[in-house]
Amino acid sequence: NEGTSLDFIRTIIAEDCESGKFDGRVHTRFPPEPNGYLHLGHAKSICLNFGIAQEHENGICNLRFDDTNPLKEEDEYVQSIQEDVKWLGFDWGEKPFYTSNYFEVLYGHAVKLIEMGKAYVDHSTPEAIREMRGTLTEPGTESPYRGRSVEENLDLFTRMRNGEFADGECVLRAKIDMTSPNIIMRDPALYRIRRATHHRTGDAWCIYPMYDFAHCLSDSQEHITHSICTLEFENNRELYDWLLDTLDIYHPQQIEFARLNLTHTVLSKRKLIQLVEEGHVRGWDDPRMPTISGLRRRGCPPEAIREFCSRIGVAKADSMVDAAMLEFCMREKLNAVAPRLMGVIDPVKVVITNYPEDQVDEFEMPLHPELEEYGKRTVPFSRELYIEREDFREEAPKKFFRLTVGKEVRLRYAYYVTCTDVVKDEQGEIVEIHCTYDPATKGGWSEDGRKVKGTLHWVSVKHAVPAEVRLYEPLFEKENPNKVEEGKTFIDYINPDSEKIITAYLEPRLAEYKAGERVQFERLGYYCADLDTTPERPVFNRTATLRDSWKR
Ligand code: ATP
Ligand code: MG
Ligand code: MG
């Protein structure tokens, strides 16, 4: 946010503050349904709602669990959502809110609607109700139960609550207009019967409010000023307004914005659940998942997600954001703070033939080129080293400044070495590269000022820590896996090489890294110690390469 121009939502809110519409108050909410883990789309909504509250003096943003569907909701999700919002850097005050806390209040509002002649109990079958709803071109038709008296409806609704009817036997519907051009206004259901144990209210209720009914009333209950939601709720705004106007209670303003779509990704809890349940990934927090917990495990800093949300902005039209943009934000944040250490992910052995067999040099190296406060670490150097296989070429093109026979390169912070010859196995694969070193170049520089173009990272073979390194690529090869061809599902577009596990050799200090600690392996990319890491068997995830190398 450059501070130069406000997005359309912030503009509306600024105008409302100016005109004193809500007494100058700004009170937003983030209302997840606890039926899955939060993903990047939610992050967009979180940054928007909490962000707006932060930008206004006395601004407030509630975290509200929209928990009206006991079949799909679980406490595990309530916990993970709180953890993720906190990790993203936002604060919802003393305690979160729950729609289930308002069940009694909501019930009271439903009774009031019945008393006003604005709601009725319908015993039609679900199919009949669907049939009567009509289509975009055909008006709906009225239910035979629409004319029930207030007394009868009050009695029936009480009996619904008391469990006298079976699941699906009847619903409470608003009595609005079966000929409305907006299908949502054709007597929408307000309550349904569902015998399921709720994660908070247990078996206290067997009827549960529908989303459209519960949502506006919860917003009203909490004195929300601006109820920001995604575009697919545009048609629901009419019902949102109708319910609050009819009940004549406090009335927030609903505003819709475009949801986030990201390339090579699915962002729908239903699809993410399927990936988890069918075992295509390690879990909700798999580093390839677009979930907040997955991004965290992969090594993405929360600042990068906030920066990403700020860069993509808020618009009124749907669009697709390039996943490379998120990687860009990750690199930018990680570059600033990640300590630099050395690891070799595709090793080939170098033998320094003129270096004494049992000698070990110890080099002090800064942990970050700019951040002196990070201090230094000690890196051992010995006669046998690993370097990256791609840093050596037998037949080197002109512009190849790395190692080749007869050429001199710098081993980072250590010595200049010159390649003399290579040893190959029977298949012709290089197994050893022989070099000589110049003892006068200790520390990686030479008094005579002679030029060496290449600088390579390295790890001493006898000190190296073998580690499991998980290299990640996008989970979906297809740019838009939501767009499926005939006879396929999004599952068919999973990238079979999205996770590649290799053994890398790391400098000793990296064995001490704890889960969640981030690092730049010099010249390779950003990595993060995985939850599975142990000092005996370190495990690192590749967060991002140094440059964008996606095949697209
Ligand atoms: P999903 O389709 O993944 O199930 P949802 O909208 O049903 O998402 P909720 O838990 O109801 O999930 O979402 C909480 C809030 O997050 C809502 O206000 C919703 O608008 C917002 N949100 C969800 N997905 C996105 C997205 N892709 N982009 C922006 N906001 C989103
Ligand atoms: Mg929802
Ligand atoms: Mg949903």
Q: What's the pLDDT tens digit per position in 99-126?
A: 999 999 999 999 999 999 999 999 999 9
Same fold: 8-257 with 343-457: no
Per-residue pLDDT at 478 exceeds 90 = yes
CATH superfamily of 8-257: HUPs (3.40.50.620)
Write the CB contacts of 79 (distance below 8 Å, at least 6 apart in sequence).
none
Q: Is 229 close to ligand 1, i.e. is its CB under 6 Å away?
A: yes
Residues catalogued as catalytic: 33, 259, 269
Q: Is 260 close to ligand 1, i.e. is its CB under 6 Å away?
A: yes
Q: pLDDT confidence of 517, banded at 50, 70, 90? A: very high
Per-residue pLDDT at 352 exceeds 90 = yes
Percent of the chain with pLDDT over 90: 96
pLDDT at residue 4 in the model: 61
Residues 316-353 as b or e (16 or more Cβ within 10 Å = b): eeeeebbbeebbbbbbebbeeebbbbbbbbebbebebe
Number of separate helices (H) and strands (E) present in the chain: 12, 27
Q: Which CATH architecture has domain 343-457?
A: Beta Barrel (2.40)
Quick check: 513 and 302 in contact, CB under 8 A?
Answer: no
- What is the C-alpha separation between 30 and 45, in angstroms, rounded? 7
Per-residue pLDDT at 1 exceeds 70 = no
- Ligand 1: which residue has its CA nearest to atom 3? 268
Q: pLDDT confidence of 319, banded at 50, 70, 90? A: confident
> Which helix (H) or strand (E) covers residue 472, if one does?
strand 465-472
Going from the Cα of 34 to the center of ligand 1, the distance in angstroms, rounded, reads 11
Closest approach atom of ligand 1 to CA 270:
4
Among the ranges given (259-268, 366-375, 394-403), the one the predictor scored with the smallest mean pLDDT? 394-403
Per-residue pLDDT at 551 exceeds 60 = no
- Fold observed for domain 262-339+467-545: Ribosomal Protein L25; Chain P (2.40.240)
- Per-residue model confidence as pLDDT tens digits over 263-290: 999 999 999 999 999 999 999 999 999 9
pLDDT at residue 398 in the model: 87
Q: Tell me the best of 35, 42, 276, 321 to mutate to test the pocket of ligand 1, counting ligand atoms within 8 Å of each CB and taking the most.
A: 42
Q: Is 33 close to ligand 1, i.e. is its CB under 6 Å away?
A: yes
Residue 252 DSSP code: P
- Per-residue model confidence as pLDDT tens digits over 373-396: 999 999 999 999 999 999 999 998
Q: Is 46 close to ligand 1, i.e. is its CB under 6 Å away?
A: no
Burial category of 201 from C-beta neighbours within 10 Å (exposed 0-12, middle 13-18, buried 19 and up): middle
- What is the C-alpha separation between 268 and 534, in angstroms, rounded? 33
Per-residue pLDDT at 470 exceeds 70 = yes
Quick check: 327 and 548 in contact, CB under 8 A?
Answer: yes
Quick check: 66 and 213 in contact, CB under 8 A?
Answer: no
Q: State the average pLDDT over residues 130-138.
A: 96
Q: Is 44 close to ligand 1, i.e. is its CB under 6 Å away?
A: yes
Alpha-carbon distance values, 536 to 52, 467, 526, 527 (Å)? 46, 9, 22, 18
pLDDT at residue 3 in the model: 53
Per-residue pLDDT at 422 exceeds 90 = yes
pLDDT at residue 547 in the model: 84
Per-residue pLDDT at 550 exceeds 50 = no
Domain boundaries, the chain: 8-257, 262-339+467-545, 343-457
Q: Tell me the best of 40, 230, 260, 261 to mutate to test the pocket of ligand 1, counting ligand atoms within 8 Å of each CB and taking the most.
A: 230
Average pLDDT, the chain: 96
Ligand nearest to the CA of 39: 1
pLDDT at residue 405 in the model: 96
Per-residue pLDDT at 41 exceeds 60 = yes
Q: pLDDT confidence of 362, banded at 50, 70, 90? A: very high
